[in-house]
Amino acid sequence: MYSKNNDFGKYFLHVIAAVRIGYKKYYSTLTFSIDPGKKLGLMVFLDDYYLDSYCCFEKSDFFAIIHKYITIFEEENPTLMKLNFKLGRGVLDITYDLVKQIYIMFQNRKYLRVCLIDEFKSSQFKLPKNTIGKKFTKDEISALILAFRFGIDVRFDNYDDIFNQLRMKKIFIKKTKTEQSKNHDEPLLSLDEVVEKVLSGKLTLSNAIEIINANNA
């Protein structure tokens, strides 16, 4: 319950989480999907459900946002949350700087995953309809498409080497087809339908990844 002693921003985020995901005393996982560039598209998932999105004009804005989410949802939580970062690698220098800063901030965490994603055609997707009442920038939608993809996991002790190999084109990340796919538990869904269901809270990120990538198995 909100009181004058509580920070309204914190209260508001908990209300959004309760509406979109369901009330929990403690949440366990935050996933941040990022489309790096002159502007940074950011999609935030809480316990595998879409929570919110942003278009950040400065890297400082991006880090302020993720710090806010982590601080608010870890408050009074007896355990540290699992943090997942999925970053597009279209502009390697920007992505490298983000990964470096992420590890400076969170390298001592036990549950930290950083993944580099191929940005192939991610910015070309256009949202055909919007049923949740929020306007999304192309950077935010690109970040959402990246969240659906597999990539290369990097660690604190190897990310420098992996970026060097990417710069020398010694590592190739498989491009993911995102037209449509079929899963034995789900009817045929187009990418448009998957996006709409994720944004409306009818589909988890994990289920979306499974559906979209089923035809690449």
Q: Which domain CATH number covers 77?
A: 3.30.420.140
15-30 pLDDT, tens digit per residue, is: 989 988 888 889 999 9
Q: What is the count of structural domains for the chain?
A: 1
d(CA 195, CA 147): 11
In a domain, 209, yes or no: no
Q: Rounded to two decimals, what is the model's pTM?
A: 0.87
- 101: which residues sit within 8 A by CB, 6+ positions away? 59, 63
Return the residue matching tokens 């993720």.
66
Task: Give the pLDDT of residue 190.
Answer: 82
In a domain, 125, yes or no: yes
| Tally: H helices and E strands in the chain | 7, 8
Torsion angle of the four alpha carbons 116, 120, 123, 128, in this order, in degrees rounded to the nearest 10: -110
**Residue 131: pLDDT over 80:** no
In a domain, 79, yes or no: yes
In a domain, 140, yes or no: yes
In a domain, 42, yes or no: yes
The domain of 138 spans 25-167
In a domain, 52, yes or no: yes
In a domain, 2, yes or no: no
In a domain, 150, yes or no: yes
